[in-house]
Chain A
Amino acid sequence: MFVLSEKSYPCLLLYPVARLVFLTINIFLLSGCAIDNFGLVKVQHFENETVYIVSKEAWGAYLSSNEADARIMFGHMNRILLYPKNPSSSELPLDNLLTNLQQDHFIRTKNINMDAFNTRSPIAWITNNQGLIFNANQFRFGITLGLESRDAIRLPKDFEGVFAFKYSSNGKIQAYFYQQSSHD
């Protein structure tokens, strides 16, 4: 039970915005909290021939310590991250690119070491957040109150190869990644 009194929180009573933020944080803290992959967070893992997908959905307070995703948020978060596999180029002829892309071959996998993804940067991601978000990651530093949505592809500037990505907000994802080796 949270009771605001002039004696204990004089500044909150003076500043309506501060009071609103304080109440929002407390409401979401009561609804649940999570840190990375632990707590009230739903984590799923999918993969196809060339790409891993990590999907996270969290409610309440959520703290992410991943360098690419460091943030504290209070509200609802839905995040889909794509990581490349490293198959040898001989297994992935470019001729099959469009065929592979058009076929949905993502399968759900379990018993994956999720910690391995914490040190890697995703090559694409889709985020939908609602609430109060404090971003402190390598892409963004700041604060958002409300709704934020971002769909992004991010490849190294020395990347040589092919990345094809199709995403629809109805949940359909198709992706294909091919990295050219230096011997090709």
Chain B
Amino acid sequence: MRKLLIYGLLCSQLYGCPAKHLVYAHDTSIGIDVAASTEGTGRMMFGYDRDTFAIVPRKSDGEAMTLVSFGCVYAKGLSKVNFNHFVASGKAAKNIAQSGSGLTAINNALYGGKQECNQ
């Protein structure tokens, strides 16, 4: 717990740490929020805040990830949220990237040309 605390405080000071995970996130906060984060950035917020972001890290060997990713996030007010994501990496990503019909099918499954995302 002490390590976590120190790491968290360091991260908040350094404004971001080396990412260890592939992250897709959608956050909404209303009220008071004071947080340090090991993924994303620390923040101090009073009122209303909404974030949508992705973090793509380097692999352990320092190489960039091979990635195919589709995302569709729709939010209306506080109660309505649609969060659709497709992530493929490595050999699977290479195979999918070479298939035009596959990419179209994934896009239709997640987005489907609808503002509210395909549900």
A residues adjacent to B (C-beta < 8 A) = 94, 98, 101-102, 126, 135-169, 172, 178, 180, 184
Chain A, residue nearest B82 (CB): A168
Other-chain residue from A136, A143, A157, A162 in contact with B21 (beta carbon distance below 8 A): A157
Of B21, B27, B37, B90, which one neighbours A149 at CB under 8 angstroms? B27
Closest Cβ of chain B to A171, distance in Å, is: 11
Across the A-B interface, the 8 shortest Cβ-Cβ residue pairs: A146-B31, A142-B35, A160-B90, A141-B8, A152-B25, A151-B83, A157-B57, A147-B30
Task: Classify the interface of chain A: helix, strand, loop or mixed.
Answer: strand
* A-side contacts of B13, CB under 8 Å: none
Chain B interface residues (CB < 8 Å from chain A): 1, 4-5, 8-9, 19-39, 42, 57-60, 65, 73, 78-92, 95-96, 105-106, 109-110, 119
Tell whether, in the assembled complex, residue A153 and residue B87 are in contact, meaning their CB atoms are under 8 Å apart.
yes
Q: Which residue of B lies closest to A144 (CB)?
A: B33
Residue of A with least CB distance to B110: A166
How far does the alpha carbon of A43 sit from the alpha carbon of B21 in the complex, in Å? 27
Q: Which residues from B are CB-within-8-Å of A147?
A: 28-31, 78
B25 contacts A101, C-beta separation under 8 Å: no
- Contact A167/B87 with A142-B36, A143-B35 known, Cβ cut-off 8 Å: no
For B83, give its contact among A135, A141, A165 (CB under 8 Å). A165
**A144 in contact with B31 given A164-B87, A166-B119 (CB within 8 Å):** yes
Q: Tell me which of A145, A151, A180 contacts B92 (CB under 8 A).
A: A180
Complex-state Cα separation, A126 to B88, whole angstroms: 21
Of chain A, the residue at the smallest CB distance from B52 is A151
- Is A159's CB under 8 angstroms from B81's CB? no
Is there an interface contact between A158 and B60, defined as CB atoms closer than 8 Å?
A: yes
User: Which residues of the other chain, B, contact A159 by a CB distance below 8 angstroms?
Assistant: 22, 89-90
Contacts of B35 in A (CB 8 A): 135, 140-144
Shortest CB distance B103–A (Å): 11
Report the nearest B residue to A145, measured CB to CB. B32
Say whether A161 contacts B90, CB under 8 Å. yes
Q: What is the bound-complex CA distance between A148 and B17, given in angstroms? A: 23
Does A148 lie within 8 Å of B29, measured CB to CB? yes
Is A149 a contact partner of B60 (Cβ separation < 8 A)?
no
Known: A144-B29, A150-B26, A154-B22. 7 other contacts (CB 8 A): A140-B36, A145-B31, A145-B33, A147-B78, A157-B59, A168-B83, A180-B92
Q: List 26 A-B contacts (CB under 8 A).
A: A126-B83, A136-B4, A138-B38, A142-B35, A142-B36, A144-B31, A146-B30, A146-B31, A149-B28, A151-B83, A152-B26, A153-B23, A153-B25, A156-B21, A157-B20, A159-B22, A160-B91, A162-B96, A163-B86, A164-B87, A165-B85, A166-B82, A167-B83, A172-B119, A180-B90, A180-B91
